[in-house]
């Protein structure tokens, strides 16, 4: 059998540094030994496929998963997932999770003194179409404090996961909002060394995605590899 080609290494500066001391938990988490390259085998490039039913219409509309609508500013987030050559990544499972409009996650570890919303649990999933496009309807997540340093606040953000063909190919990142004053102070955002790469994590306000009288629209296109890659968490 011919050796498998595997995946291209991320372009320099497009991934967060393992060690970025302003992001305090990276000090404990960063590997202290050089990384070991694991050769790609069939297990890394094949895997289960997901049944289309796990992403029902309700799953991509986070504003309609409960009895009533959640509080907050409705937004539509849409974009394309492409590879390094601009080819669409079709039928890939995208999952998102986020805080509610008050900046609170529905999670036992989140003890931020802000209200939970009984009509919002903050998780959604969707498959890309034949052109690599996806769309979510949700509410704009609030900023929240975190214990990294005194007066640390995370900017508004949505967490994204892209599954690809196998569990080993799953990529995770965060989408931010344009003009957020907290971006300048966020060590997670700044752990990506290359400024251009970092800025690819910021969605673009897009009137074509905005739904008149209903929801503001943001475009978040994702490039999986190459020099124009969207930064992904390690
Ligand atoms: Fe978060």
User: What is the SS3 assignment for the chain?
Assistant: CCCCCCCCCCCCCCCCCCCCCCCCHHHHHCCCCCCCCCCCCHHHHCCCCCCHHHCCHHHHECCCCCCCCCCCCEEEEEEEEECCCCCECCCCEEEEECCCCCCCCCCCCCCCCCCCCCCCCCEEEEECCCCCEEEEEEECCCCEECCCCCCCEECCEEEEEECCCCHHHCEEEEEECCCCHHHHHCHHHHCCCCHHHHHCCECEECCCCCECCCEEEEECCEECCCCCCCCCEC
- Please give the C-alpha separations between residue 228 and each of 82, 111, 183, in angstroms, as whole numbers: 11, 37, 21
Q: What is the mean pLDDT of residues 145-172?
A: 92
Place 165 in a pLDDT band, splitting at 50, 70 and 90: confident
Q: How far is CA 154 from the centre of its chain?
A: 14
Phi, psi of 14 (to 5 degrees): -95, -5
The bridge status of strand 216-219 relative to strand 74-82 is parallel
Is 7 a catalytic site residue?
no
Place 20 in a pLDDT band, splitting at 50, 70 and 90: very high
CA of 173 to the centre of ligand 1 (A): 10
Q: What is the mean pLDDT of residues 5-14?
A: 81
Place 1 in a pLDDT band, splitting at 50, 70 and 90: low
Is 23 a catalytic site residue?
no
Place 177 in a pLDDT band, splitting at 50, 70 and 90: very high
Q: What is the mean pLDDT of residues 6-13?
A: 81
CA of 217 to the centre of ligand 1 (A): 20
Is 225 a catalytic site residue?
no
More confident residue, 3 or 152: 152
Q: What is the pLDDT of residue 54?
A: 85
Place 2 in a pLDDT band, splitting at 50, 70 and 90: low
Is 105 a catalytic site residue?
yes
CB 232 within 8 A of CB 172: yes
CB 155 within 8 A of CB 144: no
Q: What is the mean pLDDT of residues 173-185?
A: 98
CB 138 within 8 A of CB 158: yes
Average pLDDT, the chain: 93
Kindly tell me if the per-residue pLDDT of 172 is higher than 90. yes
CA distance 30 to 24: 10
Q: What is the mean pLDDT of residues 47-62?
A: 86
Q: What is the mean pLDDT of residues 90-94?
A: 93
CA of 86 to the centre of ligand 1 (A): 29
Annotated catalytic residue within 157, 198, 200, 225 = 157
Q: What is the mean pLDDT of residues 36-46?
A: 81
Token pair for residue 74?
Answer: 């409705």
Q: What is the mean pLDDT of residues 30-36?
A: 92
Kindly tell me if the per-residue pLDDT of 175 is higher than 80. yes
Q: What is the pLDDT of residue 3?
A: 64
CA of 154 to the centre of ligand 1 (A): 7
Q: What angle do CA 57, 60, 63 make, to 5 degrees?
A: 100
pTM: 0.94
CB 13 within 8 A of CB 193: yes
Is 112 a catalytic site residue?
no
Q: State in Å, rounded, how far the first CA of the chain is from the last one.
A: 30
Kindly tell me if the per-residue pLDDT of 42 is higher than 90. no
Which of 41-45, 62-66, 157-161, 203-207 has the lowest average pLDDT? 41-45
Token pair 């020099």: residue: 227
Which of 24-33, 54-63, 153-162 has the lowest average pLDDT? 54-63
């Amino acid at each position: 059998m011919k050796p498998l080609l595997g995946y291209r290494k991320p372009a320099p500066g497009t991934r967060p540094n393992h060690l970025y001391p302003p992001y305090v938990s990276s000090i404990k988490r960063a590997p202290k030994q050089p990384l070991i390259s694991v050769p790609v085998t069939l297990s890394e490039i094949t895997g289960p496929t997901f049944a289309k039913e796990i992403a029902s219409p309700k799953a991509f509309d986070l504003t309609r998963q409960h009895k009533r609508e959640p509080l907050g500013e409705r937004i539509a987030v849409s974009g394309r997932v492409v590879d390094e050559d601009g080819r669409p990544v079709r039928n890939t499972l995208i999952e998102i999770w986020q805080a509610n409009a008050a900046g609170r996650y529905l999670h036992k570890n989140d003890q931020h003194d802000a209200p939970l919303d009984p009509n919002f649990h903050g998780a959604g999933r969707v498959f890309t179409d034949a052109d690599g496009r996806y769309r979510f309807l949700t509410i704009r997540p609030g900023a929240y404090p975190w214990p990294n340093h005194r007066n640390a606040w995370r900017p508004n953000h949505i967490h994204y996961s892209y599954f690809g063909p196998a569990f080993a190919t799953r990529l995770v990142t965060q989408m931010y909002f344009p003009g957020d004053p907290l971006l300048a102070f966020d060590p997670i955002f700044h752990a990506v060394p290359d400024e251009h790469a970092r800025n690819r994590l910021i969605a673009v306000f897009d009137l074509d995605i905005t739904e008149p009288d209903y929801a503001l629209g943001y475009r978040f296109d994702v490039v999986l590899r190459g020099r124009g890659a969207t930064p992904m968490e390690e």
